[in-house]
Structure 1
Amino acid sequence: MFTIFHSESIWTGTDMKKFNEIRDVLDREGIPYKYKVKDRLGDWNGSGTFRGSVGSAGIPADQSKQYEILVEKKDMAQAQNVIKIKLS
């Protein structure tokens, strides 16, 4: 059963192309994964969101989201190997 307690992050970043490439490799190899997408400008800072307080100036649009891919701990070594081989 895939749960947060039995999974580890294999990749975290802001590059959507790389995010999709890694997911494609994991799909082809039959390695189960989950992913999270975090809107960094939507973070709560106590008096509102970051974007609401200071705007989005200085933050490139392609870096406003942070992506994370998680795999089960038992599949971590295999996932690292196929990603390393396929994306090198």
Structure 2
Amino acid sequence: MFTFFNSDTLWIGTNMRIFNQIHDELDTRHIPYRYKVKNELGQWAIHGSLRGRTGSIGNPSEQMYQYKILVLKKDLEQANFILSNIQQLDN
């Protein structure tokens, strides 16, 4: 079970391709994980959302969502190794 005390953030980013690579690799190696997706333009302020007040012109659509992957602290070292391999391939 994932809680604030026994999990840690592995990766935060806006690139959906890298997000998919990471969670596919974690699935392949049977490392439990959770993910959260946050709509950056859908945040509510005093009078409506950010996109509702300012519009979305000029904001790249690929950066509209922020992805966050969490793993258990006991699996963090192995997950970081996987992440470093994916980042090397991406460069």
Q: Mark yes or no: TM-score above 0.5.
A: yes
CA RMSD between the two structures: 1.2
Which runs of 5 or more structure 2 residues have no equivalent in the other structure? none
**TM-score normalized by the length of structure 1:** 0.92
User: Could you tell me which amino acid in structure 2 is paired with residue 63 of structure 1?
Assistant: Q
Counterpart position of 1:3? 3
Shift of 1:82: 2.1
Paired residue total = 88
Q: Give CA deviations for 1:21-80 in whole Å, capped at 9, x if unaligned.
A: 000111111110000000111001111100110000111011100000000111111110
Counterpart position of 2:55? 55
Q: Which runs of 4+ in 1 moved over 6 A?
A: none
Native 8 Å contact 2:15 2:63 kept in 1:
yes
**TM-score normalized by the length of structure 2:** 0.89
Which runs of 5 or more structure 1 residues have no equivalent in the other structure? none
Equivalent-residue separation in structure 2 for 1:83 and 1:54 (angstroms): 35
